[in-house]
Amino acid sequence: MTDFLLRQMRHGIWANERLLERCRALTDEQLDLTVPGTYGTIRKTLAHIVSAEEGYLVRLLGSLLHEPPLREPDLTLEGIAAHIAHVTNAVERLFAKGSPDPDRVIADTPLRRAGAPRFEMAAWAPAAQFVYHGIDHRSQIDTILSTHGLETLDLQIWPYAMELGASREVKETR
């Protein structure tokens, strides 16, 4: 059975990639659109999603994905694409030897700055946060696009499952 978290993380990456493709068709001015109540501009929010995902994976893997690590990013779309590739690679590495133990206690992260508080947590927490955080912020980007009359994308599990062949429409009634 494919690990459920792996399925969800792969869906998150798929959704980020779809959203990035959508953003490539926007002008610079459109990428800088926002609406009150959201994280920020479209571009900044997408960079924030990917940067946070790298952070969760660094904590889960116990090592940096690359040097120097990504902090407070001000990324171009090409930069975002490059970091999505890092996330994809790290997710597959995380599950390469089977399902990680969700109850393993992670004592710290290599990304912690000097003097910053240390958190000990069960491994399921950053893994679940990876999934939740992306959905939350992609929803905000969807709201920004919609508010400004721009075409939105269906990033739910349904179209993802269709693409994978895990769901298909049945025309005839059985």
Partner 1 sequence: MSTAPMLRQMRHDVWATEMLLERCRSFTMEQLQLTAPGTYGTIQKTFAHIVRADEGYLNTYGLIPQPFLELSDDTPLEQTASRLARVRDAVEQLFRSKEHDFDRRIHDERRKLDLELWVPLAQFSHHGSDHRSQICTILTLHGLDVPDLDVWAYATAKGASVRF
Burial 41-78 (b: 16+ CB within 10 A, else e): bbbbbbbbbbbbbbbbbbbbbeeebeeeebeebebebe
- Choices 20-28, 72-80, 84-92, 120-128 (CB under 8 A): range interacting with partner 1: 120-128
Our finding on whether 76 is near partner 1 (CB under 8 A) is no
Our finding on whether 154 is near partner 1 (CB under 8 A) is no
Our finding on whether 167 is near partner 1 (CB under 8 A) is yes
Our finding on whether 135 is near partner 1 (CB under 8 A) is yes
Is residue 89 classed as helix, strand or coil in its secondary structure?
A: helix
Our finding on whether 114 is near partner 1 (CB under 8 A) is no
Our finding on whether 120 is near partner 1 (CB under 8 A) is yes
115, 63 Cβ separation under 8 angstroms: no
State phi, psi for 10 to the nearest 5 degrees: -65, -40
Nearer to partner 1, 62 or 102 (CB): 102
